Amino acid sequence: MISMQLVNPSSHSGSAPYTTHPLRVFLVEDSEAILERLTETISSLDHVEVVGHAGTEAEAIAALQTGVCDAIVLDLQLKEGNGFNVLKVLRSTPAGRHLVVLVFTNHATSQYRARTMKLGANYFFDKSQEHDQLYDVLERLAAGHDDSDLGT
């Protein structure tokens, strides 16, 4: 079981034209192998940092209500609970309404896509085929692009 963990932010060096803090990303993922890969790759993106993670619905809801992040990479199927409920709770709170939610799932059916978008997800990615697209969106969000030009 993966327990919720918040990570102290680390600064990225470089002279990129960013005027705000790095994009703070929180991961909701119950697979240790996928969590490790996501953390490593996302942390290597320019001006993006992983600020924590949770492996269950309850841990994710508790952590996300603290306002620790700007974006969430959200798995739908968790060992305890699910990402649909996390998304519902998140979008029902003032703090959670402004967060960018990127659903990242092995269950990339049109029904799941429609349901998550109706619940307020901003993006939907298939874990088996769309890793690069997920990372591209995170980089573009960090660079300050408007969501409307990201092609969800």
Find the length of the chain: 152
Domain ranges of the chain: 20-96+131-152
Closest CA to 76 of 22, 119, 25, 38: 119
- Enter the pTM of the model: 0.82
- What single letter denotes the amino acid at residue 64? L
In this predicted model, what pLDDT tens digit does every residue of 50-63 receive, in sequence order? 999 999 999 999 99
Helical segments of 50-130, H only: 57-64, 83-91, 94-97, 110-119
Q: What is the pLDDT of residue 97?
A: 86
Closest CA to 104 of 96, 113, 95, 114: 113
Cβ contacts of 151 within 8 Å, gap of 6 or more: none
CATH superfamily of 20-96+131-152: Response regulator (3.40.50.2300)
User: pLDDT below 50 — which residues of the chain?
Assistant: 1-19, 146-152
